[in-house]
Amino acid sequence: MPKKRKKDLKIADVISELTGESWLYSSIVKDHFFNPRNLLLKNPKSGEFDAEGQIGAPQCGDVMRMWIKVDPKTERVKKLNWRTFGCASAIATTSIFSVMIAEKGGMKIDDALKIRPQEIMQRLGGLPARKVHCSVLADKAFQATVNNYFRKTGQYSRIITEGKKVIDPTINLTEKDIEAAVLEGAKSVNDLQKRLKVGIGNPEVIPEIEQLLRFYREKYYGIKS
């Protein structure tokens, strides 16, 4: 056996049987994986949080869900809980992210949105190269949750839409929002309007909404309508 492989066997946490590639996790990553902070295993009570967001596809089980409680006067995130089904890196990055958000009385929303994956990895003491993408999950889930907060509080101009096609400019709603609603169970335009208020003040967008609804229902559920 090559010397490099012997060394890997002594220090690596994971070694691929197929490629021989080794992954070494920092003690901080392992701590947050085995003892995740702010993990919410049961669905919250009604009114416990001000907003929630979700990224991923329920069909494949790769989903991250996040909830926040916000002080309306200061816009500090007083509480952040989350739940995900993922690898050690995904769990550890979200755990440390939740700690970062809650420090010093809670970060303001605008400051929290500026946290970058590199900062998360630094707090964890690094991640294996193949797992760097996991540091993006917490960031994306938080962005989705904050967008939900902005939508609920009528702050449509603050909704983050970068890289997404805006379908209803009146409320800054994108095609990704419609996709997420379909994945969460929306079956009709009426369902979408109840969840998202889409098209209510801008009825000319309804045909495009109907088209997207049909597309995503066929894509994820095989239902043609």
Positions annotated as catalytic residues are 60, 134
Number of H helices, E strands in the chain: 9, 7
Report DSSP letters for 129-151, one per residue: GGGGGGHHHHHHHHHHHHHHHHH
Q: In what order do the strands lie in the sheet with 62-70?
A: 51-57, 62-70, 77-84
Which one-letter amino acid corresponds to residue 38? N
Report DSSP letters for 49-103, one per residue: -SEEEEEEETTTTEEEEEEEEE-TTT-BEEEEEEEE---HHHHHHHHHHHHHHHG
User: How far is residue 197's CA from residue 154's CA, in Å, rounded to a whole number?
Assistant: 11
Give, for 22, the enclosing helix (H) or strand (E).
strand 22-23
User: How far is residue 141's CA from residue 107's CA, in Å, rounded to a whole number?
Assistant: 16
Beta bridge partners of 82: 39, 66
State the distance between the two ends of the chain, measured CA to CA, in whole angstroms.
60
User: How far is residue 166's CA from residue 127's CA, in Å, rounded to a whole number?
Assistant: 34
* Structure tokens given for 32: 């947050």
